[in-house]
Amino acid sequence: MSSQDGGGGLNLGALSPDQLKQVADQLAQESQRLTESFEGLQSAINKYNRSASTLKKFKDESEGKEMLVPLTSSMYVRGSLEETSKILVDIGTGYYVEKSVEGGTDFCERKVVLLKEHLQKVVDALQQKQQQEQQVRTALAQKQAQAAA
C-alpha cells in the first residue's frame, strides 16, 4: 500500500513487522553513531575557535609581560613572556610545527573550515537516517494496526 521508498531502497510493504523493527533499530544505531561524530566534530571546532581567539588576544601582549604559569591545575609559578612572535602548533600524530601568530591563526581557521564541511556532511547523513527511520517506524505501526484489526 504505502511507502515504497526509504529504508535504503527496500520495499517496506514486503517486510514482516520483525524485519521492519530490525531495520528501524539498525537505522537508529547508525543515527547514534552519526550523532557521536557530530558531537566530536563540534567540540573540535570549538577547540580551534578557542585557539584562534586566544591567539588574537595574545598578539596584543607585549614581550616580557608577567604571567602565572600553571604547574598543575591548582599551582602556579611566576613567569614572563619571552617570545611572542612564534608559537608551537600540534598538527597531529605527535608532530608540532613552529608558526608565526598569523600562521597559527591561519592554521586554526583552515581547520575550522575543513571541520565545518565535514560537519555539514554528517548533519545531512543524520537527517537522512532519521527520516528513513521515521518511515520504517510508520510502516511498522501500520502493519501492527493491520494485524490487530
Partner 1 sequence: MEMQFSEKVAQSDTERQLREQLDHAVTDFRNLQKEVNVNSRKRLQATQQLHENEMVQNELALVDQDDDETGVYKLVGPCLVKQDIAEARANVAKRLEFIQNEVSRSDAAIASAEQKMTAAEGEITKLQQRVAKAKQIAAAAAQ
Cell readout for 3 is 511507502
Judged by CB under 8 A, the residue of 98, 109, 117, 124 near partner 1 is 98
* Contact call for residues 59 and 99 (beta carbons, < 8 A): no
Pick the stretch among 75-83, 91-99, 122-130, 136-144 that binds partner 1 (CB under 8 A). Answer: 91-99
Residue 63 in the binding site for partner 1 (CB under 8 A): no
Q: What is the DSSP letter of 62?
A: P
Residue 97 in the binding site for partner 1 (CB under 8 A): yes
In the complex with partner 1, which residue's Cβ is closer, 67 or 91?
A: 91
CA distances from 85 to 3, 57, 63, 65 (A): 62, 13, 9, 14
Cell readout for 67 is 604571567
Residue 113 in the binding site for partner 1 (CB under 8 A): no
Give the interface with partner 1 as residue ranges (CB under 8 A).
88, 91-100, 103, 107
